[in-house]
């Protein structure tokens, strides 16, 4: 007759208690966007060079005014928190909805245009703070990952900057962020097809001062109507392909609607759009924003720097 060995209660508790018997140690995985060691080493060298440059050319945080970094650790963390949960933002874009309230073009936003994210975007676009491209591109990558999930064979089509904005800045914010993502693994397997160009017929409207800032729904729609096209030599690259449009900020959706129109005319299939941040659109009456009560945009401070006497 066999006797079944009886386990002692102490051994049973020890095998179940993680404090008494902790799991084996494992090497931590790299949390960055690069899988190769030499790329990670290049990132570390660039970060060290940025710190040395801060000693020669002092910089302040674009959000809180802290010294030595264009975006301090605390504010960078806030930007990441604001862009970690992408959401559908097409319902607040009147230009992307039909008269029945249906959505014409689904849009995924990485975050809401407010607080540190808004200040970082303004500093990147209007003040040439290229040091912020990696943080903002990571947030845009989260939105792209959410938009392409479950959709096969899509390509990303960036929205071009206006001629006046490109001359003033010297770069296109959307193209810089996508180039940063292409250097990593965030959008691996999803090609970027740059085919949309500005139409010369609407170049005169782009020379008007102020751009689209402060314009209402009707003024924005009339200003961008017919402003984009796909040249004949580039139509074959997107004809019959499923495309996702990429832009930086969503307000009324007029820019995305015009980009979708240009792609549809060349035979592309637009399945959606992605933006870095979505803001509250201006009033639908066509005028400028007059405050939160009138449906206008909430004011955003470009810099919340501490005063000298604090």
Domain enclosing residue 261, as ranges: 83-294
Residue 197 forms part of a structural domain: yes
- What secondary structure letter does DSSP report for 214? T
Residue 74 lies in a domain: no
Buried b / exposed e over 78-100, threshold 16 CB at 10 Å, is bbbebbeebeebbebbbbbbeee
H-helix segments, the chain: 9-16, 37-56, 73-82, 115-126, 133-148, 163-169, 173-182, 203-206, 217-224, 254-265
Give the total number of structural domains in the chain. 1
CA-to-CA distance for 141 and 145, rounded, in angstroms?
Answer: 6
Task: Please list the pLDDT of the chain residue by residue as tens digits (310 residues).
Answer: 555 555 555 555 445 555 566 666 665 554 555 667 787 788 788 778 777 776 777 778 889 988 878 889 899 999 999 999 999 998 888 888 877 777 889 999 999 999 999 999 999 998 888 889 999 999 999 999 999 988 888 999 999 988 888 888 889 999 999 999 998 878 888 999 999 998 765 554 555 455 555 555 555 556 677 788 999 899 999 999 999 999 999 988 999 999 999 999 999 999 999 999 998 755 444 444 433 333 344 334 344 444 444 4
* Residue 46 in domain: no
Q: Is residue 35 part of a domain?
A: no
Whole-Å CA distances, 186 to 120, 160, 177, 246: 21, 21, 11, 15
Whole-Å CA distances, 293 to 73, 224, 272, 290: 35, 27, 31, 8
Per-residue tokens: 106:
């689904």
In a domain, 181, yes or no: yes
**In-domain check, residue 62:** no
C-beta of residue 260 within 8 angstroms of C-beta of residue 270: yes
Q: pLDDT by residue (tens digit) across 183-224? A: 887 888 899 999 999 876 555 455 545 555 555 555 555 667
Domain assignment of residue 259, yes or no: yes
> Do the domain assignments include residue 16?
no
Per-residue confidence (pLDDT) for residue 67, from 0 to 100: 81
Question: What is the C-alpha radius of gyration for the chain, rounded to an integer number of angstroms?
Answer: 24
Residues 6+ apart with CB under 8 A from 250: 89, 93, 107, 109, 256, 275, 277, 278, 279
Residue 104, domain CATH: 3.40.50
């Amino acid at each position: 007759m066999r006797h079944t060995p009886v386990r002692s209660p102490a051994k049973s508790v020890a095998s179940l208690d993680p404090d008494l018997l902790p799991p084996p140690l494992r090497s931590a995985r790299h949390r960055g966007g690069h899988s190769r060691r030499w790329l990670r080493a290049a990132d570390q060298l660039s970060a060290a060079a940025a710190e040395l440059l801060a000693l020669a050319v002092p910089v302040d945080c674009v959000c809180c005014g802290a010294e030595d970094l264009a975006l301090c650790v605390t504010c960078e963390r806030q930007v990441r928190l604001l862009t970690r949960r992408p959401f559908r933002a097409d319902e607040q874009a009147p230009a992307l909805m039909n008269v029945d309230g249906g959505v014409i073009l689904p849009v995924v936003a990485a975050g809401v245009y407010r607080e540190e994210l808004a200040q970082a975007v303004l500093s990147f676009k209007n003040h040439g703070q290229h040091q912020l491209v990696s943080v903002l591109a990571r947030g845009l990558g989260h939105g792209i990952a959410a938009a392409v999930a479950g959709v096969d064979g899509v390509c990303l089509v960036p929205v071009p900057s206006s001629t006046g904005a490109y001359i003033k800045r010297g770069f296109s914010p959307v193209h810089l962020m996508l180039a940063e993502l292409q250097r990593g693994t965030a959008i691996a397997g999803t090609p970027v097809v740059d085919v949309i160009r500005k139409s010369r017929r609407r170049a005169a409207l782009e020379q008007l001062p102020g751009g689209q800032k402060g314009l209402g729904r009707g003024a924005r729609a009339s200003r961008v109507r017919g402003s984009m096209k796909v040249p004949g030599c580039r139509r074959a690259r997107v004809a019959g392909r499923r495309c996702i449009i990429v832009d930086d900020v969503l307000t009324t959706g007029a820019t995305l609607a015009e980009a979708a129109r240009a792609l549809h005319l060349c035979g592309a299939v637009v399945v959606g759009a992605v933006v870095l941040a979505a803001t509250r659109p201006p009033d639908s009456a066509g005028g400028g924003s007059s405050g939160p009560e009138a449906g206008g945009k909430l004011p955003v401070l470009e810099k919340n720097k501490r005063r000298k006497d604090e």
